[in-house]
Amino acid sequence: MDTRGIDQLLSQMNAAAAIAGGKPAPAPAEGAANFADALKGAIEQVSSAQQNATKMAEGYQTGQSDANVQDVMIELQKASLSFQTMVQVRNKLVTAYQDVMNMSV
């Protein structure tokens, strides 16, 4: 499991907390990606999984692929699960954004 995105998000949150507390923000780590890049990468992985599952299913249906029905179903379930996970992450991000926007300053 790749945890670089989570580690980078935590470092950004710590920097924001330091700024809010009146302390100078720590310098970003060398080569650290930002949250937008991590999110974009995750979305691209979900899209890739869906495209791969669709191609495999089409190949199975037309007989052009040597994949069996079990492999096709597993790929389709992986794509579905990754999409459902991405939707839940989006829902949590929207909720967090709404909570932050509703805070009084």
Tell me the mean pLDDT per 10 residues along the chain, length 105. 68 76 64 75 92 93 88 94 92 91 84
Specify the pLDDT at position 32.
57
Q: pTM above 0.95?
A: no
Cα–Cα distance list, 68 to 7, 74, 76, 81, 82 (Å): 39, 10, 13, 20, 22
- 38: burial class by Cβ within 10 Å (0-12, 13-18, 19+)? middle
Domain coordinates in residue numbering, the chain: 1-30, 34-105
